[in-house]
Structure 1
């Protein structure tokens, strides 16, 4: 992770988004519902919770990049990588690609092929579906709903007039109950084990560009309520050095309840991102989860060499997407470290095929495979 991940102010007219700081309520009843009450789906079931990524998926949602004012001359290469990710995920589960308009949809169909469903009824500004898309929850008894995290362009750093509506429109297309969270954040800012424990960087959530005037304790309570969880594990993170303010899903991921994986930098790395990764490793190695388990921490070594010298490049193996029967991750041309990451993920996800992709154009834009995808779980 070099010292700037997504270009900090590569914006095409900064949009404004209201900060929804009331209770999490169904979209249709925000004005009158009591604060803190979540949309419920299903009668006599337990609370709605966001499951771990490895549950069975109904489909994966993605977004097609077409905004040249955001991507400039990099657009064609980024489209190439998004199409590759979509085609790869479609080998394992259905993929729905949202495009800005009919012209963008036609381009997406041409690049993605017939295995990917492309729609223009949910227009997008950019490709980061993990952050703008709906977060799906379920209750274990057949009920599924969706929530929006009030996406505001990572603290109004990028235009998002279309992206701020994506979560609601996805829920509507799927005929799911929908509510908005009581905090501002992004899907990539929160990792869940599906068993009561979350982890996040303070820098991305306890931040005046998302949640002004809220303490860490207040943000924590709102995030736990939205995700149906009991305990938050915080790491400090880094503010102001990338557009996300240091999302957790680049460095640390839940593998299963009680087990996390952390990417560690080469020993000679001393930049702020390397220090951040080592700090995350130290904190999580000493942490217990909501069930009182001492976390088992699996380490993956980051690459020593890259094909790219882009200062915004994200060299993360852990920004992977778990699909039905597969783990889709990156490779960087460092044969030894690529192989080590592949072996580590195969051991962590037994029975799943580990597919490594060269998506350097996307990673040069400051995000990766997990950032560009959002899974929709099946009901059970």
Structure 2
């Protein structure tokens, strides 16, 4: 390539689409971090329970679109046993089960051609021991589906970014501008890199994510675009809740940005957060924002028990926001014990021209 600009997806007209745009398939990585071969066991109730939940999420998605489970070849029979025949299996070595974060971010251009971005995945700023195999997943999928792969010098995870599909990206400073991830870049430099690799014109930085979030505050627990011109944010109304001040600050930032396509302020919808919940002394980051839109449906985490009331409110709200989609609920609590939820364990590929 003859110029520095030609290294970037933006030069070729690629952009990060909104998650509501037509989709080809969704990926999940099978839970494998059981403590046997890894120093850190992230599943406090054991890996068997979480395998059941992952299979339930996969089969919920399979009602609407193709779902591909990425798993080591030696676990093929196990995945088939848990997931049944509706889930396709792609055999690659992996270290963990958060494909949103270590997998590629898929891009689309006006010709409906697909590309992928490989971020520099460091397992959340080197929080976990191994990430060698996870770091290779973007390359494997780019080869599998014959896609150009752009390699970014930024150390970020897919859960740290949300797109409106029209040139605006939501993110948090706490999950990107950390010394353990990107000490070599200042905010201005990180902003330009995000624009160039995501085909964006505007990066909206919230200061931080929610308390207890092991990712340092990914945006996919905080706020997201749900359609052009509309942002959904998790609201916190209890002044004694540690997330109250965070909510107030983030809400103020979002109220002061405009939709680039209409030059109008975004419509902001609030979904009440679940009650505070701890597990084995750990604050769980429960969030309805961590849902997954699929082709014709919404896979929505709910949390039960003391969250029954907010669960019901969330279901009614999502039904109103997405009147043409079927709302399918799944138990999000077991995934949250490991540090994420439905959005974190999935990664969507837009429709486009792909295999």
Fold-level match, TM-score > 0.5? yes
For structure 2, list consecutive stretches of 5 or more residues without a partner in the other structure: 36-40
Corresponding position of 1:206: 177
CA–CA distance in structure 1, aligned partners of residues 295 and 289 of structure 2 = 17
The one of 66, 70, 86 equivalent to 2:58 is 86
Higher alpha-carbon deviation: 276-285 or 366-375: 276-285
CA–CA distance in structure 1, aligned partners of residues 228 and 163 of structure 2 = 9
The one of 37, 41, 47 equivalent to 2:6 is 37
Q: Deviations over 1:24-59 (max 9, x none)?
A: xxxxxxxx6643434669xxx961001000111110
CA–CA distance in structure 1, aligned partners of residues 275 and 213 of structure 2 = 22
CA–CA distance in structure 2, aligned partners of residues 82 and 116 of structure 1 = 11
Corresponding position of 2:328: 355
Mapped contact 1:125–1:163 kept (Cα < 8 A): yes
Mapped contact 1:77–1:362 kept (Cα < 8 A): no
Corresponding pairs, count: 343
The one of 90, 97, 106 equivalent to 2:69 is 97
For structure 1, list consecutive stretches of 5 or more residues without a partner in the other structure: 1-31
Question: CA, structure 1 residues 310+96, in 2 after alignment: closer, same or farther (shift >3 Å)?
Answer: farther
Mapped contact 1:38–1:226 kept (Cα < 8 A): no
Q: Does 1:123 align with 2:93?
A: yes
Corresponding position of 1:53: 19
Q: Deviations over 1:109-153 (max 9, x none)?
A: 111111001222x22111101001111111121211111111111
SS for the counterpart of 1:322 is strand
Q: Deviations over 1:236-257 (max 9, x none)?
A: 1059964311001101011122
CA–CA distance in structure 2, aligned partners of residues 108 and 206 of structure 1 = 37
How far is the alpha carbon of 1:104 from its aligned partner? 2.4
Corresponding position of 1:281: 251
Corresponding position of 2:38: none
How far is the alpha carbon of 1:376 from its aligned partner? 0.4
CA–CA distance in structure 2, aligned partners of residues 361 and 199 of structure 1 = 27
The one of 319, 337, 344 equivalent to 1:346 is 319
How far is the alpha carbon of 1:105 from its aligned partner? 2.6
CA–CA distance in structure 2, aligned partners of residues 98 and 156 of structure 1 = 22
Corresponding position of 2:231: 260
How far is the alpha carbon of 1:160 from its aligned partner? 0.4
Q: What does 1:231-270 align with in structure 2 at a 5 Å threshold?
A: 231-237=202-208, 242-270=213-241
Mapped contact 1:263–1:316 kept (Cα < 8 A): yes
Q: What does 1:308-319 align with in structure 2 at a 5 Å threshold?
A: 311-319=282-290
Corresponding position of 1:74: 46
SS for the counterpart of 1:145 is strand
Q: Deviations over 1:202-247 (max 9, x none)?
A: 1111122111131111100000111101001111105996431100
Mapped contact 1:68–1:75 kept (Cα < 8 A): yes
SS for the counterpart of 1:329 is strand
Corresponding position of 1:29: none
Q: CA RMSD in A?
A: 2.3
Question: CA, structure 1 residues 39+230, in 2 after alignment: closer, same or farther (shift >3 Å)?
Answer: closer
Mapped contact 2:212–2:285 kept (Cα < 8 A): no
Question: CA, structure 1 residues 79+34, in 2 after alignment: closer, same or farther (shift >3 Å)?
Answer: farther
CA–CA distance in structure 2, aligned partners of residues 119 and 216 of structure 1 = 37
CA–CA distance in structure 1, aligned partners of residues 347 and 99 of structure 2 = 6
How far is the alpha carbon of 1:308 from its aligned partner? 5.8
How far is the alpha carbon of 1:301 from its aligned partner? 0.6
Q: Deviations over 1:242-278 (max 9, x none)?
A: 431100110101112221000112424431x332233
The one of 135, 138, 142 equivalent to 2:105 is 135
CA–CA distance in structure 2, aligned partners of residues 194 and 118 of structure 1 = 29
CA–CA distance in structure 2, aligned partners of residues 261 and 233 of structure 1 = 14
Mapped contact 1:36–1:182 kept (Cα < 8 A): no
SS for the counterpart of 2:282 is coil
CA–CA distance in structure 1, aligned partners of residues 141 and 281 of structure 2 = 34
Mapped contact 1:151–1:164 kept (Cα < 8 A): yes
CA–CA distance in structure 1, aligned partners of residues 27 and 298 of structure 2 = 16
Question: CA, structure 1 residues 243+34, in 2 after alignment: closer, same or farther (shift >3 Å)?
Answer: farther
CA–CA distance in structure 2, aligned partners of residues 170 and 335 of structure 1 = 39
